[in-house]
């Protein structure tokens, strides 16, 4: 997330306000460009010292002509024009992507206020389950585009493979995890197949293996729910006397999917709020979807974020049918709020999948670096300038060239830094903190702990049974009037 410096500029008339802002390192201009600036200064002094001490007269004359040529032509590169449009477009995209990140506050409050009929305990379970599905959908979507979420919800085996050396930094381990777990930004495939995934290679080029492709519709599934979820096919005999299953969904893929989904329940914030984010029955539903995906496409399956949203919508309808939602309009409004969350997720995934055109980025990068290559020669102080008016000062340190480098290169680095706001830079979105907030707020909003409400403000159940407590609203209003009168009397005595 952007580095906060509001407290430093709270007093706009402070004498040292510029020192407070310029003295920061994290998220600063210096942190972005110091390596490039060091290379630029080293290249400048290599040319400068070579001209002063390593060239003869003929070489100096040629070098002076190059300096004069670069000084005249560096203005032909429209560097400010290119950078201005480039940075403006990327910053706009960066801000809009942040606004598309779903927050669970509004939908949680509508769920809490709409599902309150019949039994309070059962209504609470329904509310918590709906928000659990929405948070699960959030995790499934964000782990496809965010490095932080993809790293946070990794299996123990993946962590063991990348954390063998204790000397490795967290950013290096995160990059290694994300290299093995490719982040998918492909939104076109109906089964959400990772664009980096290749189709399964055939195990053999024999006639039997090639003929197996003709039997794609021979898969049969066991109707027994207690049987393994892996389908079996009509086997084909091989040359060595064995059998192959051309359509078999690999048991390893089945176990891998289960392991990935179970890793969600190991998160500390998930365990502290909802306890578990996905149950065994829900994992089996994803496994059945994965089997169907493989039967149709012969490719690996990535769990879609919209499937838990379907579960949440169906649960709302069942709550309406069972009397936990009193008005159909309320159920429709809750479903509409859930649909808005799904739309935000889809818009965010689309924005993440559509990058700034590569050609535009290449043009800007080439323009900036070619400009400074030209400037390294143009800012050299050569002997023929001593005879010209206004060029009698030999600056051993190219101060204004360094300032120009800081401004323009910093401009470019800012754009490249926020081009992927779901990475690990200082200006990237802290999606892990956003998830913590969503889990905490959504759970507390729908759980509605009675201790968090004033006395005599019980749950307003829509339908009362004989065993329910009587309505305590009159007692609550009477208590409010009493407290207000006491406070007014205390204020009067104080005056």
Residues 415-458 pLDDT 10s = 888 888 888 777 788 899 999 999 999 999 999 877 777 776 66
Tokens at 254, concatenated: 């089945």
Judge contact between 406 and 359, C-beta under 8 A.
no
Distance of CA 190 to the CA centre of its chain: 21
Q: What is the pLDDT of residue 425?
A: 72
pLDDT band at 73 (very low <50, low <70, confident <90, very high): confident
Q: What is the mean pLDDT of residues 178-201?
A: 44
Judge contact between 182 and 158, C-beta under 8 A.
no
Q: Is the pLDDT of residue 173 over 80?
A: no
Domain ranges of the chain: 7-98+357-418, 148-350
Q: Is the pLDDT of residue 71 over 70?
A: yes
pLDDT band at 212 (very low <50, low <70, confident <90, very high): very low
Q: What is the mean pLDDT of residues 475-479?
A: 66
Residues contacting 314, CB < 8 A, separation 6+: none
- 62-71, 149-158, 400-409 — which is least confidently predicted? 149-158
pLDDT greater at residue 350 or residue 455: 350
Q: What is the mean pLDDT of residues 406-415?
A: 89
Q: What is the pLDDT of residue 298?
A: 78
Q: What is the pLDDT of residue 159?
A: 54
Q: What is the pLDDT of residue 53?
A: 86
The average confidence (pLDDT) of the chain is: 76
pLDDT band at 199 (very low <50, low <70, confident <90, very high): very low
Q: What is the mean pLDDT of residues 317-342?
A: 93
pLDDT band at 136 (very low <50, low <70, confident <90, very high): very high
Q: Is the pLDDT of residue 171 over 80?
A: no
pLDDT greater at residue 82 or residue 240: 82
Closest alpha carbon to 2 in 19, 23, 26, 20? 26
Q: What is the mean pLDDT of residues 211-225?
A: 39
Q: What is the pLDDT of residue 269?
A: 94
Give 389's DSSP letter: T
pLDDT greater at residue 169 or residue 199: 169
- Give the torsion sign (CA, 225, 316, 313, 147): negative
Distance CA 453, CA 168 (A): 48
Closest alpha carbon to 67 in 380, 371, 370? 380
pLDDT greater at residue 378 or residue 310: 310
Question: What is this structure's pTM?
Answer: 0.75
Judge contact between 286 and 307, C-beta under 8 A.
yes
- 148-157, 245-254, 447-456, 476-485 — which is least confidently predicted? 245-254
């Amino acid at each position: 997330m952007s580095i906060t410096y509001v407290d430093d500029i709270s007093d706009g008339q402070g004498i040292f306000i510029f020192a407070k802002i310029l003295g920061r390192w994290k998220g600063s201009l210096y942190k972005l460009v110091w390596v490039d600036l060091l290379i630029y200064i080293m290249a400048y002094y290599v040319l400068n010292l070579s001209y002063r001490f390593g060239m003869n007269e003929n070489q100096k004359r040629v070098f002076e002509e190059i300096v004069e040529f670069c000084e005249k032509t560096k203005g032909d590169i429209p560097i400010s024009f290119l950078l201005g449009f480039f940075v403006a477009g990327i910053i706009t995209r960066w801000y809009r992507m942040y606004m598309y990140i779903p927050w669970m506050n509004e939908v949680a409050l509508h769920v809490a206020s709409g599902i309150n009929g019949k039994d309070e305990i059962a209504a609470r379970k329904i509310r918590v389950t709906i928000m659990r599905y929405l948070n699960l959908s959030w995790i499934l979507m964000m782990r496809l585009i965010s490095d932080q979420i993809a790293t946070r919800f990794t299996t123990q085996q993946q962590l063991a493979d990348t954390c063998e050396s204790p000397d490795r930094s967290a950013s290096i381990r995160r990059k290694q995890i994300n290299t093995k777990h490719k982040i998918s930004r492909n939104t076109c495939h109906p089964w959400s197949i990772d664009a980096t995934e290749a189709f399964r290679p055939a195990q053999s080029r024999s006639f039997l293996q090639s003929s197996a492709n003709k039997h794609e519709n021979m898969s049969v599934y066991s109707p027994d729910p207690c049987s393994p979820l892996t389908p079996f096919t009509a086997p084909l005999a091989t040359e060595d006397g064995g059998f192959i299953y051309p359509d078999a969904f690999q048991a390893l893929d089945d176990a891998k999917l289960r392991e990935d989904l179970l890793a969600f329940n190991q998160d500390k914030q998930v365990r502290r709020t909802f306890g578990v984010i996905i149950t065994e029955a829900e994992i089996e539903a994803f496994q059945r979807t994965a089997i169907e995906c493989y039967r149709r496409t012969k490719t690996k399956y990535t769990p879609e974020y919209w499937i838990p949203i379907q579960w949440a919508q169906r649960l709302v309808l069942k709550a309406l049918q069972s009397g936990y939602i009193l008005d159909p309009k309320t159920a429709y409004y809750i479903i509409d709020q859930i649909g808005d969350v799904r739309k935000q997720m889809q818009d965010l995934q689309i924005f993440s999948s559509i990058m700034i055109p590569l050609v535009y980025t290449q043009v800007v990068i080439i323009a900036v670096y070619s400009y400074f290559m030209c400037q390294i020669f143009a800012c050299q102080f050569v002997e023929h300038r001593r005879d010209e008016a206004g060029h009698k000062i030999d600056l051993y340190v190219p101060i204004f060239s360094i300032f120009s480098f800081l401004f323009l290169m910093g401009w470019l680095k800012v754009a490249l830094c926020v081009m992927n706001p779901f990475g690990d830079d200082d200006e990237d979105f802290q999606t892990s903190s956003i998830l913590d907030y969503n889990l905490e707020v959504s759970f507390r909003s729908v759980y509605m702990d009675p201790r968090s409400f004033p006395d005599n403000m019980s749950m307003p159940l829509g339908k009362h049974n004989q065993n329910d407590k009587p309505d305590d609203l009159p007692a609550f209003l009477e208590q409010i009037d009493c407290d207000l009168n006491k406070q007014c009397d205390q204020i009067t005595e104080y005056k």
